[in-house]
Structure 1
C-alpha cells in the first residue's frame, strides 16, 4: 500500500486579520480541523480518495465560516445559488450541480450525478429536483443565510453604488471550499463547492462546477481544487492546466501549481489559490491573496491548518 495524503481549502482572500476576533479565527480553524478529520478518517481506514474528499467538503458546507452551503454568498437578488463538483481520478468521471437553491450539501448531489452517469452537470431547479428525487436533503433557501453574508452583500452593493467594486476586498467578493486526496491504492480525487461571490448576477456560474477548471483529478498525475475569480479559472482551464504541466512537462506539483496561480494570473490582478496533491502524496497550496483557509495532513498523521502566513500544528 502506498502513501496517503489529504489537503483542503476554505477559500482564498480570507478576511483581514483584524476583521475577526481571535475567537472567530479559532472557530474557523476548528472547522478546518474537523474537515481534515473527516477526510482522514476515511483514508486512514484504507478508504477511497473519493469518499475522503466528499466527507471533508461536507463538513465545510455545514460550517458558517466558509462560502459553501450554510454561510454561502448571496447573489444580487439576495438569495443563494450553489455550485459543486467532484471528480474521480481513477475512472476520469465527474459530476456537478450549478445554481442549486435548496440542496443542503451540493457536493453530495455532484457525487450522485457522477455515479448515475446520465450527465456530468445539472443546473438550477432541475438540480434541486434531481437531488430531492435521489433522497438527498433539501432545505429552504434562507437556511444558507448568515448575518456575515447579509453584511457582505450590503457592502458589495455600496461598492457598486460608489463605483468602487473593483477595489473590494477578496473576502467581500468570493470564497470556495475544496478537498483533494490520494488514497492507499494510489487513487486521486478532488471536490469543490461554493456559493459564488457576493452580489453575483442571478444565474452566474463560476468554475467550481466545471470539471477541468475548478476541479480536476487524474490518477498517476494529480488532483486539484481551486478558489478565486472563477471566470479566469474557466478560461485558463486551471485544474487541467496544472495536471498537464505535471504530466507533459515533467514539472513538480509545486512548480506547476505556482506557475499558474502566481505567474500566469499576475497580469490580471485577480485573487486565486488552489490545493493539489500528486501521485506521490506531495501537496501544494499556492495563493496570491493575503491569505487562504487551508489545511493538510502529513503521511505521519500530523494535522496542520493555516489562514494567512502562520501555520498551526494541531
Structure 2
C-alpha cells in the first residue's frame, strides 16, 4: 500500500511540473527564442501554431547539426539565426517590421564567449542575413558596431548576400504599419482639437507620446526578435540576436539587440544571453551583461540571475524575455509577458519547444 502511495505522489508531482523543469540540468547545448509578448493559446490557430513550431524545430535541428559536426558555437549561432531570419513569421530578416517611413531597418549582433570578440550592425537595409553581417564586423573589421549605409557597404565588400530592399516586404508587416499610421493620425487630430474624420495616413503633425515625448511607445502585441545561445564541444559559448525593431519606429531608433551587454552577451566564464522585448528598458538595465555579472560576482545560478534581471525590467515598466545558457549547460528562459516563442536542445538531441506562460 505504501509503495502505491509513493507512486501516486510522484505522478502528481511530475504532472504539475513544466516540461522545462523535468529535463536534467546541465544538459543543454543550444537555446533559441523567437520573440515574447501577447502569445495566447486562445488566439493561436492550429495552422499558425504548427508553422511556428516547424520554424523553431528547423532552427534547433540546424544549430544542433552544426555543433555535432564539430563546428564552433559561433557557427551554430549564425546558422540557427539564418533559419529564423529567412522565415517571415519572425521580426527579423524576411519578416522585419516597417519603420514610420515605410522601410525595413534591421539590427543584429553576435558575440564569441571565448575571446569576448563581438560584432553588430544597426539600421541596415540590403543585407539578407544581418547576423552574418554582425559576424563579418566581428571578424573582418576593427570595430564592434556599424550602422546604416556604411554597414550595408561593408557587408557588400565583405562578400555577403545583398538584396533589394523589396526583399523584406511582407503583407502582414505592411498592414501592421498602416494600422499604426492610422492610430498616429487619430492622435494627431485629437491633439489639434479637430472634429474632422482622420485621414488614415495623415501623419504630418508631430505625435507626442502619453509622456509628452517624441517617438513612439511600444504598441506591439508581441516581439518577434530572434536569438540563439550555444555551447560547443570545446566548451565555448556564443550568443546572437537579430531583429527588425519596432513597427512605426522613427528617427532612426535602435533597440537593445545590436548593443553588446544590453541585448546580447557571451562570456565563457559565465553565460551566453540573447534578449527580446521592449528594447529601451533592456538598454537601461544592460540586461545581458547584468545577468553575467550577477553570476560572476554574486555567484548566482543562471536561473536566479535570469529572473532577477527580468524583474528589474518589469520594475521600470518594461516587458520581454531572454534566453541564457551557462558554461555548464544549464539554461533558463524567463519572461514577463503572456508568452515567448522558445526552444532548446540537449546534448543527446532532445528538442523542447514552448510558446505559452505555463
Q: TM-score range by the shorter chain?
A: over 0.9
Please give the root-mean-square deviation of Cα atoms over the aligned residues, in Å: 1.8
**Selected match of 1:12 from 27, 36, 39:** 36
Q: 1:298 aligns to what?
A: 346
Kept in 2: contact 1:14–1:307 (CA 8 A): no
Q: How many residues align?
A: 306
Question: Structure 1 CA distance, aligned partners of 2:220 and 2:239?
Answer: 27
- Residue aligned with 1:70, SS: helix
Q: 1:240 aligns to what?
A: 289
Q: Does 1:225 align with 2:274?
A: yes
Kept in 2: contact 1:227–1:272 (CA 8 A): yes
Kindly provide the CA deviation profile for residues 202-240 of structure 1, in whole angstroms up to 9, marking residues without a partner as x: 411111111111100000200000001111111111110
Q: Mark the CA change 1:176 to 1:167 in structure 2 (over 3 Å): closer, same or farther.
A: closer
Q: Does 1:90 align with 2:139?
A: no
Q: 1:32 aligns to what?
A: 56
Q: 1:203 aligns to what?
A: 252
Question: Structure 1 CA distance, aligned partners of 2:43 and 2:104?
Answer: 24
Q: Does 1:129 align with 2:153?
A: yes
Kindly provide the CA deviation profile for residues 144-174 of structure 1, in whole angstroms up to 9, marking residues without a partner as x: 1111111211222233344497583532xx4
Q: 2:123 aligns to what?
A: 99
Moved more, 21-30 or 218-227: 21-30
Kindly state the Cα deviation for residue 267 of structure 1 after the two structures are TM-superposed. 2.4
Question: Structure 2 CA distance, aligned partners of 1:293 and 1:44?
Answer: 24
Question: Structure 1 CA distance, aligned partners of 2:221 and 2:308?
Answer: 21
Q: Does 1:141 align with 2:165?
A: yes
Question: Structure 2 CA distance, aligned partners of 1:40 and 1:137?
Answer: 24
Kept in 1: contact 2:111–2:265 (CA 8 A): yes
* TM-score, normalised with respect to structure 1: 0.93
Matches within 5 A, 1:158-173: 158-163=182-187, 168-171=219-222
Kept in 2: contact 1:3–1:184 (CA 8 A): no
Kept in 2: contact 1:186–1:220 (CA 8 A): no
| Higher Rg of the two aligned structures | 2
Q: Mark the CA change 1:155 to 1:20 in structure 2 (over 3 Å): closer, same or farther.
A: farther
Q: Mark the CA change 1:162 to 1:270 in structure 2 (over 3 Å): closer, same or farther.
A: farther
Kept in 1: contact 2:218–2:278 (CA 8 A): no
- Residue aligned with 1:274, SS: strand
Q: 1:58 aligns to what?
A: 82
| Runs of 5+ unmatched residues, structure 2 | 1-25, 188-209, 211-215
| Runs of 5+ unmatched residues, structure 1 | none
Question: Structure 2 CA distance, aligned partners of 1:229 and 1:192?
Answer: 14
Q: 1:67 aligns to what?
A: 91
Kindly state the Cα deviation for residue 118 of structure 1 after the two structures are TM-superposed. 1.3
Kindly provide the CA deviation profile for residues 4-30 of structure 1, in whole angstroms up to 9, marking residues without a partner as x: 610000011154445442112211110
Kindly state the Cα deviation for residue 43 of structure 1 after the two structures are TM-superposed. 1.2
Q: 1:272 aligns to what?
A: 320
Kindly provide the CA deviation profile for residues 162-205 of structure 1, in whole angstroms up to 9, marking residues without a partner as x: 4497583532xx43100001112111000000000101114111
Q: 2:135 aligns to what?
A: 111
- Residue aligned with 2:107, SS: strand
Question: Structure 1 CA distance, aligned partners of 2:128 and 2:70?
Answer: 28
- Residue aligned with 1:185, SS: coil
Kindly provide the CA deviation profile for residues 271-308 of structure 1, in whole angstroms up to 9, marking residues without a partner as x: 21000000110010001111111110122210011111
